[in-house]
Structure 1
């Protein structure tokens, strides 16, 4: 007998696909269109989205919370030995580790981008707060290191999805579209009522406001 479980709430699913679109937009704005204004706007939107995910990891649906992504070393080892035996909804141990890693490096890329100065007319809003030495370090990381780390993590993420879909016959893409996942046993479902979705909208609005206010404050500061 199998059970259809609501795993991913709507705010989590919208976050996921908005992240995909904004990261793609950030890449194309530089490589194809050579438009730093678009690139910066994608970065600001990503900053709000990143903050949203941090907060949603605390107040979001059951399987979106960070508390459900914390595992012991024994659980990691057991999963590596017997990956096909993992049947819980949500992220498996390696998937959870990839979420934290991705959030870490996305955050680093956002901050380093805001602190960068490319000497070609674009200066990030945080660059004025920092000395030239730190701005140079941020620019180097953002342009030469961080982007390759993120591209590697994205490629690894896509390969992992393909592996689970093809080898283990575990559907990962469809649940991120409709929120539901078939499970061999009963499990807690994520809340996804309208009240919960309105909370997600409120959290998103607060994060966007934080970024907007932060940008306004940063642009009025000059390093002395």
Structure 2
């Protein structure tokens, strides 16, 4: 596949090299030639020096044949404009934009773009890791707005129903694994010690569940 990476900073360098290692054709655009020095010496993709908003630069990078473009500079305004042009003018099938400052994330989303906000997501993951471990995050959707958590059922909840545990639908059960077999559980499923639950939840929902579990341990 053919990919264009706009911005050859830390994120752009890592992304370009990962795609290159998987056998894809990669072109990296940056307006500062020295930025390409950060690419590994065995990188064999193309480097295009120039302003990413210039149509001739985009064409030199192969945008008319591109399967995907990622705008990952440290300028939110540049990222959103380049991504919008790629999507609406050149009809690139897959366009992803990096959100550098959380304040401007709504701007990216207003354009209907796929957004990755490393600052927002990173802060949330650090917050989760600071809490005592009771449920492990195993998958994060979007920028962490919804995540999948893995929870082992303790003796306190043995015999209770799934509805008792989750209460008011703030978390949704994705799967229940018992003795190595996974099922899609109903709300009336009675829990057993050692059951593994996978729960879909927002940060607020998992925090509420955390408090309920903490309170139940003090019974």
**Range class of TM-score, shorter chain:** under 0.3
Rg comparison, structure with higher value: 2
Greater share of strand:
2
Q: RCO higher in 1 or 2 (8 Å CA, sep ≥ 6)?
A: 1
Greater share of helix:
1
Compute the TM-score of the two structures, normalised by the length of structure 2.
0.22
